[in-house]
Structure 1
């Protein structure tokens, strides 16, 4: 079995090295494995059934809608409104306007569900502003890279939807479970920024905000805060399903764009095209991974690997530490969606056998995938920041390194205190 797994790995790496799309590489690897090692399977019928089965789960309906909601808000210029609205409120804190990276990412994460989108929208506004005002360039880039990962952890999260579908877990519970960890991680980021600036004494002077400044700031962030509040209230009070929440979010995004006077036909069409491209990319990855996972299942690879790991006799915490390293290494070469759909058939049975809750593991995996977003050479947040700044990848990776270690420590904190993720879903049941 391990020889087959090695062949699959080499084939997949070769396809990626040949610039074949990840989704197609996954699909081709699964197709070849079954064709060679299970030649009696009618691949045309089997692969068609796998494709159909991977695309029909009802919760997947919410995926393109949440993506569309995010794109509409991007077209409405949400990033600049967030900066102008938050600057008066955080400017006098230790760390000053650098906190806009964290708070802005937290707010945009609550309506985007995407780490790369959060990084791009917030960074387009904050990085030039922070540079012009003399803030530490390294800390500005690093805090944006770290805070951008909150797009995966704070609901509604695209990665949580995919995990819920693949692991057959409640997406609503996953959304609720992500709130406290997301806010806690944002608080840790802000504490690090405040400590860094206080110890180094590099924070530029900021004028004290007047009551009028605070009012204007509240008015700028009011629409997005109202949308977040509406989505969260519907989520926690059980007024809507995940798909209905997504539709509500799209409606709210359109209303915000209209209220800001930034709702044009051209902008809506552009947002729709971007949403279709992103949804199609994710869909292709899900299809490809579904066939590869089906091939692994037929060949008994997950069971063999799980049995081998179980034979090591690892304690539950040691198992979590090994999986964290495993996911961090995978994140150097694959995106978060691919990591989740490829690994869950192997890792989820191990975790449940060790006594961990699948909902908790979903939050843990999301944090592990967040680490992959700032891990070179494939860290998407790093690429986004490079496109915005023109800095070398090495310098951006060094800037993100403290936040990489914060994420590693936070993942272990989740393992030590699982109620960080499980208390709120249990309370609201």
Structure 2
């Protein structure tokens, strides 16, 4: 069976089922079953047996337990006053940097990302306090909105990251090493964003008024006190993983306990908060796990079609350089990101992309971080850029204005990807120490 025929069948089926408005879970299952039945001529009984085995094995992976637990931890914190504490804590620390309080977006998202794992949650949590505060102080709304949307994507890059867990399970890469691999690139991107804000503010001082509040040792000390709960939670969760004391799933459970302690200590614990956070976690986690199960079934169909091997051989025959392969994949992910969310992109492409990357000589661990940055880009691209929707709700501006505001930060993500491709040790150094 030719690669052109197999790929065309899969693509047409995806367009047919997903384009019809079907749930992505149902669409992926229908594509896999249709390919097996009509192309491979499998019987319905055999397809059912394959589906049962593949879905059950993919859904009971212990590593996947970290997804709902980390999401619960992040949702508990999301429902507290942590965004106000972040702003109050960071404001005196960044006030004298060119760009002033605009840096609370970048560093606030960087800090919150370390306990969230979600891009949209990071954007919404930090933005619900920083955007009104920055507007009230006369800061340029486009720069404020763009920096928030870009930095909000750190929820995927800085560990713990739901996207890294999904990739690690699908690609059979150590989740703890993926978490370690995302730390330095996340800090690098935060530095690029902060540098851009500082440069723009120096060139156009009217876009970032000087902070009028008092900044002294006492104010900075009070800021550290405001940040202390979240910093302790970060230390406990990430420290237990990197030290080898706990697996990601175990560290997530410790994080949930820590988040509950924070709500109690700060006087915000209520049964309603726990009930609402648990219900939201169950809904989103079920969606993610269903996508993983459906993707595993589709991956089985693709494997029976021998599509990954055929595509790998076809691209190898083009004699592309390793960076040429990366460029092709980047274009593919940017296009997919206009229509799909990050989890869907991951589960649909990993079975084909990972063999290509290994064939090109890249480390699958490095590619996991590359893929996460591609997903971050998708959060900033219309018409299905989730961070854009969050930002529209916060600023009440049109989609066109929001896209223009985020474009410089989208380009900085592209620059970050190039830097990581040229210097892969930025990703691989910390994991090599584990």
TM-score, normalising length: structure 1 = 0.97
1:273 and 2:275 are equivalent in the alignment? no
* Counterpart contact for 1:164–1:170, Cα < 8 Å: yes
* Counterpart contact for 1:28–1:288, Cα < 8 Å: no
RMSD (Å) for aligned C-alpha atoms: 1.3
Deviation of 1:347 after TM superposition, in Å, equals 1.3
* Counterpart contact for 2:392–2:402, Cα < 8 Å: yes
* Counterpart contact for 1:286–1:341, Cα < 8 Å: yes
* Counterpart contact for 1:24–1:284, Cα < 8 Å: no
Partner of 1:345: 351
**What residue ranges of structure 2 are gaps of 5+ in the alignment?**
none
**What residue ranges of structure 1 are gaps of 5+ in the alignment?**
none
Secondary structure, counterpart of 2:244 in structure 1? coil
Range with bigger deviation, 178-187 or 199-208: 199-208
Deviation of 1:9 after TM superposition, in Å, equals 2.0
Partner of 1:67: 71
Partner of 2:131: 127
* Counterpart contact for 1:70–1:111, Cα < 8 Å: yes
Partner of 1:205: 210
* Counterpart contact for 2:238–2:251, Cα < 8 Å: no
Matches within 5 A, 1:298-317: 298-317=304-323
Partner of 1:97: 101
Deviation of 1:38 after TM superposition, in Å, equals 2.5
1:390 alignment partner, one of 375, 391, 396:
396
Partner of 1:143: 147
Range with bigger deviation, 26-35 or 239-248: 26-35
Partner of 1:7: 9
1:261 alignment partner, one of 238, 260, 267:
267
Moved over 6 A (4+): none
Range with bigger deviation, 68-77 or 25-34: 25-34
C-alpha distance in 2, partners of 1:306/1:407?
Answer: 27
Aligned length: 428
Partner of 1:24: 26
* Counterpart contact for 2:379–2:388, Cα < 8 Å: yes
Residue deviations 1:29-78 (CA, integer Å, cap 9, x gap): 11221121223342222211121011111110111000000001012221
1:224 alignment partner, one of 227, 230, 234:
230
Secondary structure, counterpart of 1:313 in structure 2? coil
* Counterpart contact for 1:2–1:301, Cα < 8 Å: no
Partner of 2:40: 38
Partner of 1:183: 187
C-alpha distance in 1, partners of 2:357/2:204?
Answer: 42
Residue deviations 1:235-289 (CA, integer Å, cap 9, x gap): 2211111111110111111111111111100011000011011101111211221
